[in-house]
């Protein structure tokens, strides 16, 4: 059944989009991520313009992370004060990202920037995750205990001033790296149409030593609010959010996420991280391939304005 | 679908000036208003017409040729060209096509250059190779030669997107003086006012022309959503965000396990 998307200006098969929402939702529920880094490329692949895809996916991520955030809230697994500090800088990052998005679109370099950033981010993060989970797996085989968090071990981040105590996470760190991470995630999210959960979780663990109990819930609150504001800002400045597309994606996404979460809970954490790492890395390679291989068409047309 | 449905009988007639042997065209479009609704997958409009003698006893010629040009609302488009820079493919060069048709169909009963000579085709802007497409090259405005690579590729891309077409079998003569033109409108047809220009030829000369118009509108929900997104961006964004949160919340209620 075809449905016409009013902003993307094209008809799509409603069941195809629903299936995409379900699949990505399943993956996002399984790994506790928003799934934007998979959804945006998929939408571009079915012919939706990168600009509309990025803008519309933000609202889809908002929906799926809200579901996640509510269930983590019930489990009291959210560090609200940490989330708020991240957000203070995150909103600024989002605004800067939406601004850069507009500028790049005008310069005809948006698609390239999205492509290059995906390659860099995804291959790096993917490789790190694979490495880390393989190491953990090997340690587990040798019977050594997992040493994710080493109490007392401090890195340079802990030497910074303006320290603050985050009670729920039981950490005492400077707000400077917290703001830095928040700004970066908000910025990347708005430019690339990703929630940034797959970046934020490792950053919170490795730089701030946030315990696993609160890290995913806190990351979800952060993603939820940056993506909600990205939706509003993209709609207000670029007029590119396709509400019909977003609605179909959301419905599929939230349903898929429920089943994904169920599957994810039955898997070992290291195995789950390895799978996610492989997935992230593979998507990164796919983008690298597109950039390097000669495109089918060297020419492309874009609407500048409707007279 | 509704192609032969309600025939809106708006008949536009135009007369040629030549007194001795003069014809006039009488045309009627199957539908003057195309509504793009949520299940719109493209449509085809039909234009019927007859060639009539201008005066009661004026004679008609033996054979006629007909060229119909359907022009959509104007847009400014940018064509970009990629080149390999440091191993990756980057947009390096671009040209803006200023106020060109967003949709353009040239339909005729046989190839344009069999109907008229190239000079006349250029003068009358008949066919995709002869239509004026103004380009901005730096600060200059010009329509470059028809084999300019940007122009050629622009037309090719528009053809692939089904927005431009040239069909030498788009006009069918049912009798020597009664014809039918099928105007295909693809699913991604731009909204706005379209002009339909019908030119009649005999012996390589244009005898008469007439025109009519049609309108493509987004209707119902699509129209509402589109208008809202363009004119009330902030409210639209807030409503979309609220919708996202509602659905997210709804999912936790429906699937709550504890």
What pLDDT, on the 0 to 100 scale, is given for residue B165? 92
Determine contact: A22 vs chain B, CB below 8 A: no
Nearest chain B CA: its distance from A262 CA (Å): 11
Max mean pLDDT among A10-14, A114-118, B158-162 falls in B158-162
Residue B3 in any domain: the answer is no
Do residue B169 and residue B69 come from a single domain?
Answer: yes
Q: Are B216 and B192 in contact (CB under 8 A)?
A: yes
CB proximity list for A269: less than 8 A, separation 6 or greater: A212
Q: At what angle do helices A175-192 and A50-74 cross, to 10 degrees?
A: 140
- Ramachandran category for residue B44: left, alpha or beta (phi over 0 → left; psi -120 to 50 → alpha): beta
Tokens of A216: 């995913």
CA distance B246 to A123: 35
CA distance A154 to A147: 14
Name the 3-class secondary structure at A65: helix
Q: At what angle do helices A80-106 and A50-74 cross, to 10 degrees?
A: 180
Per-residue pLDDT, averaged over A228-255, amounts to 88
Same domain, B160 and B86: yes
Distance CA A208, CA A129 (A): 17
pLDDT digits (tens, 9 = 90+) for A125-175: 889 888 888 888 788 788 766 555 554 455 666 666 677 777 777 777 778
What is the rounded distance in angstroms from the CA atom of residue B222 to the CA atom of residue B234? 18
Is residue B199 one of the residues assigned to a domain? Answer: yes
| A27, A30, A34, A40: CA torsion to nearest 10 | -10
- How many domains is chain B built from? 2
Give the residue on B whose Cα is nearest the Cα of A258. Answer: B255
Cβ atoms B158, B133 nearer than 8 A:
no
* pLDDT beyond 50 at A11: yes
Interface membership of A143 toward B (CB under 8 Å): no
Task: Give the pLDDT of residue B13.
Answer: 35
Number of Cβ pairs closer than 8 Å across A and B? 191
Instruction: Based on the fold, state whether residues B142 and B33 are members of the same structural domain.
Output: yes
Mean pLDDT of all residues in chain A? Answer: 82
pLDDT tens for chain B, 258 residues long, are 444 443 333 333 333 344 456 788 899 988 888 888 777 788 899 999 999 887 766 667 778 899 999 999 998 888 888 888 888 888 888 888 888 999 999 999 999 999 999 888 888 888 888 888 888 776 777 776 777 888 889 899 999 888 999 999 999 999 988 999 999 998 888 888 999 999 999 888 898 999 999 998 887 777 778 888 888 889 989 999 999 899 888 888 887 665
pLDDT for A28 equals 82
Taking alpha carbons only, the member of B130, B73, B125, B131 closest to residue B101 is B73
Residue pair A61/A254 in contact by the 8 Å Cβ criterion: no
Alpha-helix residue ranges (DSSP H) falling in chain B:
112-115, 118-123, 149-160, 220-231, 233-254
For residue A40, what are its two tokens? 């945006």
Mean pLDDT across A256-273: 79
Q: How far is A228 from chain B (nearest CA, A)?
A: 6
Residues spanned by the domain of B32: 12-218
Site from B104, B162, B185, B240 to mutate, A interface, most A CB atoms within 10 angstroms = B240
pLDDT value at residue A153: 53
- Cα–Cα separations (whole angstroms), residue A14 to A25, A27, B39: 16, 20, 10
Give the ipTM of the model, two decimals please.
0.77
Q: Hey, are the CB atoms on A232 and B248 less than 8 Å from each other?
A: no
Say if B135 is an interface residue toward chain A (CB within 8 Å). Answer: no
Q: Could you tell me the residue ranges of all domains in chain A? A: 2-144+153-292
Mark yes or no for CB contact A307/B74 under 8 Å.
Answer: yes
A296 touches chain B (CB under 8 A): no
The residues, ordered by sequence, that sit 6+ positions from A89 with a Cβ below 8 Å of its Cβ are A178, A179, A180, A181, A182, A183, A186
* Residue numbers in B near A75 (CB within 8 A): none
Task: Looking at the structure, tell me whether residues B133 and B248 fall in a common domain.
Answer: no
Tell me if B1 is assigned to some domain. no
Tell me, what DSSP letter sits at residue A156?
G
B193 to chain A, any CB pair closer than 8 A? The answer is no
A231 in reach of chain B (CB within 8 A): yes
Q: What's residue B248's pLDDT?
A: 87
> Is A28's Cβ below 8 Å from some Cβ in B?
no
B5 assigned to some structural domain = no
Q: Quick one: DSSP state of residue A159?
A: G
The reply to whether B131 falls in a domain is yes
B254, exposed or middle or buried, with CB in 10 Å at 0-12, 13-18, 19+? Answer: exposed
A306 and B37: CB-CB below 8 Å?
no
Q: What is the CA radius of gyration of chain A?
A: 19
CATH number, domain of B145, equals: 2.60.40.1930
Does a structural domain hold residue B46?
yes
Q: Cβ–Cβ of B248/A250 closer than 8 Å?
A: yes
Question: Given CB atoms, is A250 within the 8 Å cutoff of chain B?
Answer: yes
> For position A47, what pLDDT does the model report?
81
Chain B neighbors of A1, CB-CB under 8 A: 39
Inter-chain residue contact B248 with A254, CB threshold 8 Å:
yes
Residues A89 and A300: their CA atoms lie apart, in Å, by 37
- Confirm whether B6 is domain-assigned: no
């Amino acid at each position: 059944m075809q449905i016409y998307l009013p902003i993307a200006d094209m008809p799509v098969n409603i069941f195809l989009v629903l299936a995409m929402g379900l699949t990505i939702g399943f993956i996002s529920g399984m790994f506790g991520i928003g799934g934007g880094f998979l959804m945006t490329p998929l939408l571009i692949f079915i012919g939706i313009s990168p600009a509309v895809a990025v803008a519309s996916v933000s609202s889809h991520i908002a929906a799926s992370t809200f579901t996640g955030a509510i269930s983590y809230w019930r489990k009291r697994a959210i560090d609200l004060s940490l989330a708020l500090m991240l957000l203070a800088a995150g909103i600024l990052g989002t605004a800067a990202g939406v601004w850069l998005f507009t500028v790049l679109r005008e310069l005809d370099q948006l698609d390239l920037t999205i492509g290059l950033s995906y390659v860099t981010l995804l291959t790096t993060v993917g490789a790190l995750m694979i490495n880390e989970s393989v190491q953990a797996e090997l340690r587990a085989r040798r019977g050594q205990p997992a040493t994710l968090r080493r109490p007392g071990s401090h890195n340079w981040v802990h030497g910074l001033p303006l320290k603050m105590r985050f009670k729920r996470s039981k950490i005492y760190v400077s707000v400077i790296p917290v703001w830095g991470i928040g700004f970066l995630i908000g910025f990347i999210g708005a430019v690339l149409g990703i929630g940034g959960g797959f970046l934020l979780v490792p950053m919170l663990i490795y730089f701030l030593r946030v315990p696993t109990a609160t890290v995913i819930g806190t990351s979800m609150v952060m993603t939820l609010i940056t993506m909600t504001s990205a939706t509003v800002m993209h709609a207000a400045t670029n007029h590119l959010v396709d509400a019909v597309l977003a609605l179909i994606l959301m419905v599929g996404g939230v349903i898929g996420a429920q089943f994904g979460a169920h599957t994810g809970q039955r898997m070992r954490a290291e195995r789950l991280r390895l799978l996610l790492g492989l997935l992230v890395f593979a998507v990164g390679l796919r983008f690298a391939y597109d950039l390097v291989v000669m495109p089918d068409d060297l020419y492309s047309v874009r609407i500048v304005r409707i007279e | 679908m509704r192609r032969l449905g309600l025939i809106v009988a708006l008949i536009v007639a135009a007369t040629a000036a030549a007194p001795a042997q003069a014809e006039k065209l009488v045309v009627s479009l199957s539908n003057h208003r195309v509504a793009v609704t949520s299940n719109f997958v493209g449509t085809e409009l039909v234009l019927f017409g007859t060639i009539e003698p201008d005066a009661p006893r004026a004679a008609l010629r033996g054979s006629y040729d007909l060229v119909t040009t359907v022009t959509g609302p104007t847009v400014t488009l940018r064509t970009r060209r990629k080149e390999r820079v440091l191993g990756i493919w980057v947009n390096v060069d671009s040209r803006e096509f200023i106020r060109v048709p967003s949709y353009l169909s040239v339909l005729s009963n046989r190839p344009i250059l069999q109907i008229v000579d190239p000079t006349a085709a250029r003068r009358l802007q008949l066919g995709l190779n002869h239509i004026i497409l103004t380009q901005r090259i730096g600060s200059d405005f010009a329509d470059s030669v028809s084999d300019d690579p940007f122009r050629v590729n622009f037309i090719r891309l528009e053809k692939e997107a089904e927005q431009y077409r040239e069909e030498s079998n788009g006009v069918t003569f049912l009798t020597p003086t009664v014809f039918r033109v099928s105007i295909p409108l693809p699913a991604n047809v731009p909204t706005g006012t379209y002009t339909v220009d019908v030119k009649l030829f005999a012996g390589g000369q244009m005898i008469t022309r007439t025109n009519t118009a049609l309108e493509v509108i987004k209707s119902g929900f699509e129209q509402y959503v589109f208008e809202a997104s363009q004119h009330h961006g902030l409210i639209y964004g807030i409503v979309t965000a609220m919708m996202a949160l509602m659905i997210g919340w709804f999912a936790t209620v429906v699937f709550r396990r504890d």
